[in-house]
Amino acid sequence: MERSATSGELANVIKNVIKSSTDDFKQREKIGIARCDTAVRREDRHRAIFPVEGVLSRTPREFTALDEHGAERLRRLEAGLAVVQEDFPGLETGVALCRLSCALLEGAWRERAASPDAPADDDTCACALCAHLPEPLPRGLEDYDWRRSDGRPLRVKTWPERKELDSVLTGGWVWTRKMNDSERDLGLRFRHQDDILVLHEYKRVEAAIEVSESARRVRRGLTRDRTSNGARALLCGLYAAHKRAVDEYWLDQHVAGAVALPQRTPLDKPSYALLQLMDCLFWHVSPDEELWQEEHLAALVLCRVLNDMTDVRADAVTGEASNFWLSSMSTHDKALYGACVVALLKYGCMPESHGLRWNSWLMNTTVVWEGLTGRHALWFDGITDGLPAREDCLLCGIEPNACTGLLTGGVALEVGATPLVEHLGAAAAALSARCRREQPAVWRLFDRELAAFEALHGEWRGNVGSVWEILRRTYVAGVRACLAGGRGARAVQTDSGEVGAALFHTLHRPPACKEDTALLSYMFGCAHPHFLWNAQGYAPSAVVGDWLDG
């Protein structure tokens, strides 16, 4: 079949606008890592280096040209893009990115549908990193009913006065913006701009809201507040609507028996990363001067990888096309991306990582949001049958890294000994004491992870009461489930949504909001036994249903 030239054109758009990391950013990263090195003996510092190739250094593969259905969907998209560009001049790059991303997605879906017998993933790598990939636990379709469009977690609220569009998705955006604005106050995005995104993102909200009334509020808000963020939200809304349409079209074809969709998708590493940029570039608001900085773009791609790491088993069941674990890239490349997520989360725990870039809290708030919604598999697929040994654990030794060169010059992930403080600060010691008193079987591991966190972060000065309540029902409960042979994993996941709903507001409140978010992000994303990494366990099964929740 004829191939398009979409992927190469999209890569050139990004290459032409990307801005190199600033010297101040690089220097701050070096200072933070050097500080952590003082807690490790020189002879123990580095055991291994894993090179990660820059995404744009390789030509992305081109996909099958559009069929008549895809061409018609793109014509409708073009009409919407023309209206946005006319009303908001100066959006040429964003409009091109939206158009090309949708065309890339169309081609990837069509090629997937035409190649039901695609070869299996390359799983022959014997490197130390790939050796740490988990064996998938047996799961069935019924295990993922939390992913259904008519299921939870709309109960997690952030604005009680706007019941119809309160959702965990919008809560995550607001949380991140509040954290960023606490350092560099740009003002939160206008609410009608969030309405645009939520309206397209969640299918089930259409049954709970008055669509025409929401549309009227959006139009009124855009007329009153004509900002670049409003234009970005419109572009994202167009992309989300198009993605929804193409996803559902091919899944409907599969369910009807017209095509047979394989688990694997034809996206390679460059095309996967390029597609993910549009999926979050304008959703996570940043100032115009930072929009195309390479450290910002790298964080956005890895933010999507973070979501894929926790959602991969559900995505495999429901046919999601753009998940990195289902892509055609090698198992080793997928493991490298997962390791980059851990390294960037660790970097986000360091005080040196904040202050220069406005969106610097994105990764850390994202993993905490995932751990507190009950929507993601962090406390379910990530819980193993038994507690692996922490001595010489490769994942514990992944060093903090801003992963700035992910799109450009590449990243060198370093693995060494885990730095630990000799004595916990007062608040961390109080957390440790609570664990020793209430959950003695978990205490030694918990205490060690607090020492590792404070080596990264410095003395923790957060809210002992609320953080313990969260950790008791998430991380600590997960460790107990591992010790029990994996029993009770689903109950931990369900309860994580309950504690998230109860304490979501508390995590936004100064002065402890940054301290609490940093610690929770470490415990959810980096701490042994690495529930986040364990959630990568993937077992192929039949594609069924259309539980597409974004």
User: 129-161 pLDDT, tens per residue?
Assistant: 998 998 888 887 778 877 765 555 545 455 444
Instruction: Average the pLDDT over 465-470 and give the result.
Output: 97
Provide CB contacts within 8 A for 2, sequence distance 6+: 64, 65
Tokens at residue 63, please?
A: 């996909």
Q: Are residues 463 and 403 in the same domain?
A: yes
Q: What is the pLDDT of residue 184?
A: 73
Residue 351 shares a structural domain with residue 460: yes
Q: How confident is the model at residue 334 (pLDDT cuts 50, 70, 90)?
A: very high
Mean pLDDT (the chain, rounded): 86
97 is a domain residue: yes
Point out the domain boundary residue: 226, 258, 289: 289
Q: What is the pLDDT of residue 43?
A: 45
Q: Which tens digit of pLDDT belongs to each residue from 243-267?
A: 989 988 998 899 899 999 988 899 9
Residues 258 and 404 in one domain: no
pLDDT tens digits for range 350-366: 999 998 888 899 999 99
The answer as to whether 539 is a domain residue is yes
pLDDT for res 275: 92
Task: Please tell me the pTM assigned to this model.
Answer: 0.93
Task: Indicate whether 148 belongs to any domain.
Answer: no
Same domain as 531, residue 382: yes
Residue closest to 325 by CA, chosen among 369, 381, 366: 381
When pLDDT is cut at 50, 70 and 90, the band that residue 228 belongs to is confident
Angle at the Cα of 340 from the Cα atoms of 338 and 343, rounded to 5 degrees: 115
Mean pLDDT value of segment 498-511:
82
Residues 388 and 279 grouped into a single domain: no
Q: Is residue 84 part of a domain?
A: yes
What are phi and psi for residue 415, nearest 5 degrees? -125, 125
342 and 458 together in one domain: yes
Residue 210 has pLDDT above 80, yes or no: no
- Sign of the alpha-carbon torsion through 149, 153, 155, 161: negative
The pLDDT of residue 550 is above 50: no
**Residue where a domain stops, chosen among 259, 289, 319:** 289
| 49 CB-side CA count, 13 A | 7
- Alpha carbon of 440 to those of 108, 434, 443, 476, 502: distances in Å? 51, 9, 5, 10, 26
* Same-domain check for residues 243 and 342: no
Q: d(Cα 190, Cα 186) in Å, to the nearest integer?
A: 12
Could you tell me if 540 and 393 lie in one domain? yes
- Enumerate the H helices of 115-268 as residue ranges: 128-131, 168-181, 191-201, 211-224, 228-255
Instruction: Pick 99 or 33 by higher pLDDT.
Output: 99
Q: At which of 227, 258, 289 does a domain end?
A: 289
Detail the DSSP E strand segments found in 65-146.
Answer: none
Could you give the angle at the alpha carbon of 462 between the alpha carbons of 460 and 465, nearest 5°?
130
Band (pLDDT 50/70/90 cuts) for residue 224 is: confident
Answer whether residue 178 is part of any domain: no
Flag the least confident range among 66-70, 293-297, 390-394.
390-394
The tally of domains found in the chain comes to: 2
Q: Do 275 and 356 belong together in one domain?
A: no
One-letter amino acid identity for 367? V
Q: Are residues 456 and 381 in the same domain?
A: yes
CA max distance for the chain = 66
CA–CA separation, 346 and 518 (whole Å) = 9
CA distances from 233 to 76, 125, 184, 220, 470 (A): 18, 41, 21, 15, 33
Q: Is residue 49 part of a domain?
A: no
> Are residue 334 and residue 285 in the same domain, yes or no?
no
Look up tokens 């390029």; give the residue: 274
Q: Tens digit of pLDDT for each residue in 43-82? A: 455 678 999 999 999 999 999 999 999 999 999 999 999 9
Residue 395, domain extent: 330-549
Would 518 be classed as within a structural domain?
Answer: yes
pLDDT band for 42, please (50, 70, 90 cuts).
very low
Asked whether residue 151 is assigned to any structural domain, the reply reads no
Annotate 142-162 with DSSP letters as a single string.
GGGGGGSTTSTTTT--S-GGG
Q: Do 280 and 365 share a structural domain?
A: no
